[in-house]
């Protein structure tokens, strides 16, 4: 299959782009070849698809459920009890709703960690997005539970080989306070032997750091190194409470960090030290976290908060400039997850979006990257292409009404159980 995009604006110039199968085949000022589909992108700006580095997609069903609570009260009193009632069917519809929302906001890739992996895979496969889907590991320091979850991960990985390449399997131990050292070490061994990424929450709260020091005599990053988990296939979410030694270790092992500014602020987890981490040589991506703690998947909004929080934290308006923050939702996250996308270049995977340049927040257009980071939200996205296929055009997605209705019904049933 082939797709030709005509008259798009790319880096300030009118450009044509040709896609063959799932790759960008040619970029030129004028392309006149035949294609199976043609899009006239007059008045639209071509961008790489946005990449959500950390989320829990099916938690769309819990949007607004348990707001205005502290993190551990939220987890213990609201989230974990209702998650215990979830089924694979719930996760399927919750993830379909998440994919629908992400497409509407210009996201073409997301890194997910959630229960009932088969339900998530089925939803992503049907919706056409690119995703890294984690097999979750939470053993609560119970050996029997650990053994059971290891078997599940082994089976999930076996099954993952039959899915399209745009869906990759990742190992997802939840956190150091929910997963034993033995399971964390096993997870990294399994990931390394099968060339998989490993993703976990780390140093999200100050309490987590103090508890780690009390229990293990070292800080969280040092603990991961001690048990053999740190490596270049690892990425961590949140990473707010880090000292200088931990930054050195993360840089040494080439570990990527995914910050989640809206969720961090909502749960008062702390303020991510963007400039300090960047200056330490660590690659930063951005995630939304789950919408139960955000409450949406809009990465345009997330970029704005990333920049503004850092300027406020440092008292320096030159920190976290727009171009740097935009890289966090494109090429940086692509690098962290070893994905051949995040840029509009020949040979890259055909994951891209078209932005409507005629809407008021895009006018007058003195600096397009500033517009993307500070001025707009996901509603400016007109067209979404992932893996060479059109997922949304003129803001319409096939079947969206059914997804919304079924997700609403599923959420109501879940809460009533």
The DSSP letter of residue 217 is S
Confidence class for position 233, pLDDT limits 50, 70, 90: very high
3-state secondary structure of 396: strand
N residues, the chain:
417
Q: How do the domains of the chain map onto residue ranges?
A: 2-48+350-400, 50-336
CB burial of residue 24 (10 Å; 0-12, 13-18, 19+): buried
Please compute the mean of the pLDDT values over residues 13-40 and round it to a whole number.
96
Quick one: pLDDT at residue 272?
98
Name residues whose C-beta falls within 8 Å of residue 188's C-beta, 6 or more positions apart in sequence.
Answer: 171, 198, 228, 229, 231, 234
End-to-end C-alpha distance for the chain, whole angstroms? 46
Determine contact, residues 209/237, Cβ cutoff 8 Å.
Answer: no
What is the fold of 50-336? TIM Barrel (3.20.20)
Please state the φ and ψ torsions of residue 23, each to the nearest 5 degrees: -125, 150
Please compute the mean of the pLDDT values over residues 295-309 and round it to a whole number.
98
Confidence class for position 135, pLDDT limits 50, 70, 90: confident
3-state secondary structure of 270: coil
Helices marked H in 267-317 — which ranges?
274-279, 299-314
Please compute the mean of the pLDDT values over residues 207-224 and round it to a whole number.
98
Quick one: pLDDT at residue 74?
86
Please compute the mean of the pLDDT values over residues 39-68 and round it to a whole number.
96
Nearest to 356 by CA among 329, 385, 330, 376: 376
Quick one: pLDDT at residue 75?
85
Q: Mind listing the pLDDT tens digit for each residue in 267-294?
A: 999 999 999 999 999 999 999 999 999 9
pLDDT for 71 beyond 90: no
Half-sphere exposure of 332 (CA within 13 A, CB side): 24
Q: Mind listing the pLDDT tens digit for each residue in 311-356?
A: 999 999 999 999 999 999 999 999 999 999 999 999 999 999 999 9
Please compute the mean of the pLDDT values over residues 79-83 and round it to a whole number.
91
CA distance 89 to 336: 31
Confidence class for position 234, pLDDT limits 50, 70, 90: very high
Quick one: pLDDT at residue 142?
98
Across the chain, what does the average pLDDT equal?
97
CB burial of residue 258 (10 Å; 0-12, 13-18, 19+): buried
C-alpha R_g of the chain: 21
Query: What is the tally of helices (H) and strands (E) in the chain?
Result: 16, 16
Q: Selecting from 3.40.250.10, 2.40.10.120, 2.30.40.10, 3.90.245.10, what CATH number does the domain 2-48+350-400 have?
A: 2.30.40.10
Give percent above pLDDT 90 in the chain: 96
Quick one: pLDDT at residue 417?
87
Please compute the mean of the pLDDT values over residues 235-255 and round it to a whole number.
98
């Amino acid at each position: 299959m082939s797709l030709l995009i005509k008259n798009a604006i790319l880096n300030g110039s009118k450009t044509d782009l040709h896609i063959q199968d799932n790759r960008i085949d040619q970029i030129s000022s004028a392309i006149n070849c035949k294609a199976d589909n043609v899009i006239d992108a007059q008045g639209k700006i071509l961008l790489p698809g946005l990449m959500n580095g950390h989320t829990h997609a099916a938690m769309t069903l819990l949007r607004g459920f348990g707001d205005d609570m502290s993190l551990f009260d939220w987890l213990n009193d609201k989230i974990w009890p209702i998650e215990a009632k979830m089924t694979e069917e719930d996760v399927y519809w919750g993830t379909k709703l998440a994919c629908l929302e992400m497409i509407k906001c210009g996201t073409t890739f997301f890194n997910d960690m959630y229960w009932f992996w088969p339900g998530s895979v089925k939803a992503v496969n049907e919706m056409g997005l690119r995703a890294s889907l984690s097999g979750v590991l939470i053993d609560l320091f119970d050996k029997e539970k650990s053994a059971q979850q290891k078997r599940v991960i082994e089976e999930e990985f076996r099954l993952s080989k039959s899915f399209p390449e745009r869906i990759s399997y990742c190992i997802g131990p939840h956190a150091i306070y929910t997963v034993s050292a033995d399971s964390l070490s096993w997870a990294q061994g399994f990931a390394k032997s099968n060339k998989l990424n490993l993703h976990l929450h780390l140093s999200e709260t100050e309490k987590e750091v103090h508890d780690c020091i009390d229990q293990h005599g070292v800080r969280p990053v040092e603990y991961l190194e001690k048990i053999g988990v740190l490596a270049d296939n690892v990425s961590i979410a949140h990473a707010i409470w880090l000292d200088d030694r931990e930054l050195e270790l993360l840089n040494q092992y080439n570990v990527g960090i995914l910050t989640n500014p809206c969720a961090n602020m909502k749960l008062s987890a702390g303020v991510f030290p963007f400039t300090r981490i960047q200056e330490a040589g660590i690659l930063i991506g951005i995630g939304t976290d789950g919408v139960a703690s955000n409450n949406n998947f809009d990465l345009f909004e997330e970029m704005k908060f990333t920049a503004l929080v850092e300027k406020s934290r440092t008292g320096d308006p030159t920190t976290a400039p727009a171009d740097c923050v935009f890289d966090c939702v494109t090429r940086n996250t692509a690098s962290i997850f070893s994905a051949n996308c995040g840029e509009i270049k020949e040979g890259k995977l055909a994951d891209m979006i078209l932005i409507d340049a005629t809407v008021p927040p895009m006018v007058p257009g003195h600096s397009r990257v500033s517009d993307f980071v500070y001025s707009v939200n996901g509603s400016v996205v007109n067209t979404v292409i992932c893996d060479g296929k059109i997922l949304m055009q003129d803001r319409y997605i096939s079947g969206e009404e059914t997804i919304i209705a079924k997700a609403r019904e599923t959420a109501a049933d879940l809460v009533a159980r």
